[in-house]
Structure 1
């Protein structure tokens, strides 16, 4: 059985206020997570990664709706590879994944998110949660 994490656990792991996650859930922004038989929402590790990427995209100005879709796209394609996600602030453009030592895109209207450090931090916070 895969590990599952509550909203409170997810908030701790990805360092995001629980109220943000609950707000996104209420507005049906999240396209990840699942409900238990008792209707509680739980997240797996993929979902935590999506939330972490979404957090970064929202922090850079994308709306939560667009950020959720792009976060899922990024996580599903990147898997465990040490890539950088390059996301245009134009909602009509798809994210691109490049190697961590790829292009210098500073000065362009894009958001870059280094995924490997983010994945490592999620694993570390999960270990801390289990203590």
Structure 2
């Protein structure tokens, strides 16, 4: 019985000793995701700056998909380690809402980029939307 109590005390002491390591591990993991996310946001800001404050959908599509993927991975980590890392529920809900908005922006940009590429392949506006050719005067002037 004394041996069991000693083993339990050692286990509890090990758990207490791991608490700072656990917090440090969470902070390091979240910081790594944050760096990836910030890099993706900086890329989007550079695209916007290069186009006069507006996002070019063709260039923004892959950057927004990347941002959405990083946020998805970060959200999965936060959800999985919510208790372990002491993540507040309201923070997690706000993060999920932001991630959904990023995904929606990525979908819109990529749909628009696909239309732009299709128009470029069709020679501009496409045959259906092109104005009729101008008739030149015939005969002597």
Q: Which structure has greater helix proportion? A: 2
Higher strand share: 1
TM class by shorter chain equals: under 0.3
TM-score (norm 1): 0.25
**TM-score, with structure 2 as normaliser:** 0.24
Higher CA-based Rg: 2
